[in-house]
Amino acid sequence: MSDWSNFMSDAGSAAQGVGQVLDLVLKIKKMMQKGGSPQVSAPGPTMSMQSFQPQTQDHFQGGAQFVPQLQQMAAQNGNAWVPTQTQGYGGIDLTGLWVPPMNPMDQTYIRQFGPYLNFVAGVAGIPGAYAEGVIDPASGVVQAVGQYANGAGLQMQAQLFPNWTLQGWVAAILPSGQPMTTPLGIAKVA
């Protein structure tokens, strides 16, 4: 229980760089691999979310078809383990399709297994980026690291809001090591 509590305090604090986020992701994956599935209820208070009302069908149905590509990306991050199933955590289940309000063709599919997250982003369901990350259900902070199809690294940090929206930023990490940051605003639709 104390390992999960320590994780929660780490996940809720804003990480400063890709290395810190990656360390956090690897730490939670190691804990999950040792102890099986995380407890469904988080240790401590969690965000209170509004009831989710799907606007469309989840045509990816949990995103199991993305697991091989996610495992490849995760191996490059230092641990190829990616869960084959999904499960919410602390009353929050992010698994599903997320889109910006004005561009439903720009799609991000999120897979959640406890506090561990996978992201598959692209246009019209064609993946262009893969990432893995974590959520702190108490603060709603979501952080991820991954890679674009062109090989550029990526980092994401966002705040989850009770209305099933994520707002924050995504940075492409250029070969020079410099980030190119763009705003992120997506809502869960399925």
Number of domains in the chain: 1
Q: Is 93 left (phi over 0), alpha (psi -120 to 50) or beta?
A: beta
Torsion of CA 113, 137, 57, 154, to 10 degrees: -70
Q: How many CB atoms lie within 10 A of CB 97?
A: 23
**Which residues is 14 bridged to in the sheet?**
none
Q: What is the pLDDT of residue 5?
A: 45
Domain that holds residue 18: 2-188
pTM for the model stands at 0.87
Q: What is the pLDDT of residue 17?
A: 74
pLDDT > 70 fraction of the chain, expressed in percent and rounded: 86
pLDDT tens for each residue of 35-63 = 755 665 666 667 899 999 999 999 999 99
Q: Round to the nearest angstrom and report the end-to-end CA distance of the chain.
A: 32
Least confident of 55-59, 87-91, 116-120, 183-187: 87-91
